Amino acid sequence: MTLMTSQPSGSSWRLLQPRSTDLGGGLVVRRLLPAASARSVGPFVFFDHFGPVMLTGSAETDVRPHPHIGLATVTWLFEGCQMHRDSLGSVQEITPGALNWMTAGSGIVHSERTPVEWLNQPRPLHGLQLWVALPADQQDCAPSFQHIEADRIPEVGQGPVRVRVLAGTAFGASSPVRTASPTLYLELILPPGSSLILPPLAEQMALYAPEEGYSLDGTAVEPGVMGILQNGLDRPSVRLQTRSGATAPLRLMVIGGAPLDGPRLLWWNFVATDRARIEAAAARWQAGGFAAIPGDDQERIPLPASPF
Q: Where are the domains of the chain?
A: 18-260+267-286
Tell me the C-alpha distance between 225 and 210, whole Å: 8
Q: How far apart are CA 304 and CA 82, in angstroms?
A: 24
Q: Which pLDDT tens digit goes with each residue over 142-176?
A: 999 999 999 999 999 999 999 999 999 999 999 99
Phi-psi region of 137 (alpha: psi -120 to 50; beta: other; left: phi over 0): alpha
From CA 206, how far away is CA 183, in angstroms rounded? 12
Local structure of 269: helix, strand or coil:
coil
Q: Domain 18-260+267-286 maps to which CATH number in 2.40.10.340, 2.60.40.10, 2.60.120.10, 3.40.50.300? A: 2.60.120.10
pTM of this prediction?
A: 0.95
pLDDT one-digit tens code per residue, 29-39? 999 999 999 99
- Asked if residue 10 has pLDDT above 70, the reply is no
266 in Cβ contact with 253 (< 8 Å): no
